[in-house]
Structure 1
Amino acid sequence: MQAVILHGAEDLRLETVPRPSAGPGEVVVRVGAATTCGTDLKVYRRGYHAQMLRPPTVFGHEVAGTITEVGEGVSSFRVGDRVVALNSAPCEQCYFCRRDQPNLCADLLFNNGAYAEYMRVPERIVSRNTLLLPDDLPFEHAALTEPLACAVRGFEETGARAGDTFVVIGAGPLGLMFLRVASIAGCRVIAVVKRADQVESARRFGAEHVVQIADGLDVVAETRALTEGGVGADVVVECVATPQSWEQAVATVRKGGTVNLFGGPPSGTRVSFDTNRLHYGDITLKASFHHTPATCRRAFDLIRTGAASPADFITATATLAQVPEVFRRMMVRSAEGRVDIKTAILPSSECAA
């Protein structure tokens, strides 16, 4: 079969590799669609991910498709089922799982290989984090379940309620997903964006107000002015992953408010906060990582019912052969500040053996 292999930093190659087979408890999925991801772009740039993968390996992790083979012992699925297979599953036995923090599982099992004609799904993911699709749900929409589940969990971790003023800093794919989720929940949503093209996107995804960063503009003051009495936002979610935006998030939240430092800067990054503001302002700082089986199901329901308007996230399509060029273009456009929200990778309908 054809698959896109990550060999190292900025080194993706379309290659012919053996078609996977299903072991006990496993399934093989014929990929209907995979979607590009900001995490994939970071891995492509760095050439590895300490937790998720090490090259050389088949790349990609947001995927949906059709089961073509079931392994011994699989009873919940059969050949022909349309499914979304999430990219991880917890062990359900470790310290963190026992404390209802499965996203922090000490033995969190990751799976990659979405940019291929076929993909093997390990037993643990089959049994704990694979979902059946209705016949009318496009594969490329279902593949968005994984990133949306991260946004759903991040939103839930803030404790936001309907009517709260909810600020999202950043308008990349995850920032837009936070906007959509907060809007669905009835929050009064404000977006802080960098580029002119993101203003329209932020409004389309649910922002009532948009603040565009510009030279000489006090973004914190401008954003706080849009809140009731200028006191600041009830919740601020940071989706840019820079020290400046982390500090901006803390400066934007109100007394007694919550900040979710969702964006993950590189290891070793340091930030500075005013301790008096944190302490006497009774501010809650949180960070949320990854998703859980429960938030995957809640995200899937938003996609399945159409509440999340999944079609809005797919702004380009490509074939497997085009994936290396897609990521080269993402690197260039990222530097220029122009990136598609999500590209759906659609393998050929004629899959080679």
Structure 2
Amino acid sequence: MRAVVLYGKEDLRVEALPVPVPDAGEIVVRVGAALTCGTDLKVFRRGYHAMMLKPPIAFGHELAGTVHAIGSGVKNFKPDDRVVALNSAPCDVCYFCRRDQQNLCEDLLFNNGAYAEYLRIPARIVAKNTLFIPDDVRFEHAALTEPLACVVHGFEQSNARRGDTMIVIGAGPIGLMFIHVAALAGCHVIAVVKRKDQAVAAKGFGAAQTLQISDGLDVVAAARALTPDQRGADIVIEAVATPLTWEWAVDMVRKGGTVNFFGGPPSGTRVTLDTNRLHYGDITLKATFHHTPATCRTAFELITSGRLQSADFITSHAALADVPKVFAKMMVRSSKPGPPDIKTAIFTETKPEIELRGQNL
């Protein structure tokens, strides 16, 4: 089979590898569609991920497809079942799992290799985090489950309520998902973006107001001016991952509000925060990592119910052989007019519709 392998910093290669064979409790999935991801881009740029993968290793983690083969003992799945297999599963026995913090599991099992024709799914993920896809849901839409589950987790941990004002800083794929999830939940969303095309996209996903950053603009004051009585937002989501935007987030939130530092800057990054404002403003600072089986199912329901604008997140398509070129292009921000690139769907077949049962493309 063909698979994309990460060898190090900005070094992806399409190679011929053996088709995996499932062990007991495992399944092998024929990949119908895999999606590009900001995390994969960071790994491509850095050449590794301390928790999830070390090169050389098969690359990619957002996918959906059909069951190709099953290992002994697998009862819930059979060949040709349409499934989305998440990229991790918790142990459910460690200290953190027993405290309902499965995303922090001490033995969190990760799986990579989505940019391939076939992928072996470990038994724990088969048992705990593999879901059946309805026939009317496209593979590339089902593959949105993993990033959306992370966003759902962050949204739930921010304790948002219907009618809350939420500022989302950033309009990349994750920022746009936060905007959309919050809007679906009845929040008034203000998007803080860099470019006009991002403002248009944010509006399309449900932002009630947008603020485009420009030279000389006091971004914090301008953002607070859009909130009721200029008091600041009830919740601020930081989805950029820079020290400056972390500081903005704290200055944009109201007294008694919550900041969720969802974007993770590189290790060793330091920020400066006004401790007086934090203390006397009774501000909650929160950071959210990864997802749980429960948020995966919530995200999956948003997709399969049709509530999520799934098609709008897929802005381009590419063949498996083109994945190295796709990531090289993602390293350079495009200046072309039109909507922003959000996610690229990677197909192993020239005509992806052969994997879609009667669906119209």
- Identify the TM-score tier after normalising by the shorter chain: over 0.9
CA distance in 2, matches of 1:151, 1:350: 31
Amino acid corresponding to residue 247 of structure 1 in structure 2: E
Give the conservation status (yes or no) of the 8 Å contact 2:238–2:262: yes
Amino acid corresponding to residue 195 of structure 1 in structure 2: R
Other-structure match for 2:178: 178
Could you list the per-position Cα deviations for residues 175-211 of structure 1 after superposition, in whole angstroms to 9, with x for gaps in the alignment?
Answer: 0000000000000000000112101001001100000
Other-structure match for 1:4: 4
Other-structure match for 1:345: 346
Unaligned runs of 5+ in 1: none
Amino acid corresponding to residue 143 of structure 1 in structure 2: A
Other-structure match for 2:359: none
CA distance in 2, matches of 1:206, 1:58: 36
Amino acid corresponding to residue 136 of structure 1 in structure 2: D
Other-structure match for 1:231: 231
Amino acid corresponding to residue 19 of structure 1 in structure 2: V
Other-structure match for 1:204: 204
* Correspondence 1:251-266 to 2 at 5 A: 251-266=251-266
CA distance in 1, matches of 2:250, 2:283: 8
CA distance in 1, matches of 2:13, 2:119: 17
Amino acid corresponding to residue 217 of structure 1 in structure 2: L
CA distance in 1, matches of 2:97, 2:226: 40
Amino acid corresponding to residue 341 of structure 1 in structure 2: I
* Correspondence 1:62-101 to 2 at 5 A: 62-101=62-101
Give the conservation status (yes or no) of the 8 Å contact 2:319–2:350: no
Could you list the per-position Cα deviations for residues 185-239 of structure 1 after superposition, in whole angstroms to 9, with x for gaps in the alignment?
Answer: 0000000001121010010011000000001111111111111111000000000
* Correspondence 1:106-121 to 2 at 5 A: 106-121=106-121
Deviation at 1:306, TM superposition (A): 1.1
Amino acid corresponding to residue 124 of structure 2 in structure 1: R
Amino acid corresponding to residue 341 of structure 2 in structure 1: D
CA distance in 2, matches of 1:67, 1:97: 29
Q: Is residue 43 of structure 1 aligned with residue 50 of structure 2?
A: no
Amino acid corresponding to residue 210 of structure 1 in structure 2: T
Q: Is residue 152 of structure 1 aligned with residue 152 of structure 2?
A: yes
Do the aligned partners of residues 336 and 111 (structure 1) sit closer, same or farther apart at CA in structure 2, a change above 3 Å counting? Answer: farther
Amino acid corresponding to residue 249 of structure 2 in structure 1: A
Deviation at 1:335, TM superposition (A): 10
CA distance in 2, matches of 1:54, 1:279: 41
Over the matched positions of the two proteins, sequence identity in percent amounts to 68
Could you list the per-position Cα deviations for residues 252-292 of structure 1 after superposition, in whole angstroms to 9, with x for gaps in the alignment?
Answer: 00000000000000000000110010000000000000000
Give the conservation status (yes or no) of the 8 Å contact 2:191–2:210: yes
CA distance in 1, matches of 2:176, 2:289: 17
* 1:265 partner SS: coil
Do the aligned partners of residues 65 and 349 (structure 1) sit closer, same or farther apart at CA in structure 2, a change above 3 Å counting? Answer: farther
CA distance in 2, matches of 1:19, 1:62: 19
Deviation at 1:339, TM superposition (A): 5.8
Do the aligned partners of residues 186 and 350 (structure 1) sit closer, same or farther apart at CA in structure 2, a change above 3 Å counting? Answer: closer
Unaligned runs of 5+ in 2: 353-361
Other-structure match for 1:292: 292
Amino acid corresponding to residue 205 of structure 1 in structure 2: F
Other-structure match for 2:142: 142
Deviation at 1:314, TM superposition (A): 0.1
Per the normalisation by structure 2, the TM-score is 0.95
Amino acid corresponding to residue 140 of structure 1 in structure 2: E
CA distance in 1, matches of 2:104, 2:341: 30
Deviation at 1:349, TM superposition (A): 6.2
Give the conservation status (yes or no) of the 8 Å contact 1:65–1:84: yes
* 2:272 partner SS: coil
Do the aligned partners of residues 87 and 347 (structure 1) sit closer, same or farther apart at CA in structure 2, a change above 3 Å counting? Answer: same
* 1:146 partner SS: helix
Give the conservation status (yes or no) of the 8 Å contact 2:201–2:340: no
Other-structure match for 2:33: 33
Q: Is residue 61 of structure 1 aligned with residue 61 of structure 2?
A: yes
Give the conservation status (yes or no) of the 8 Å contact 1:330–1:339: no
Amino acid corresponding to residue 345 of structure 1 in structure 2: I
Other-structure match for 2:267: 267
Deviation at 1:95, TM superposition (A): 0.5
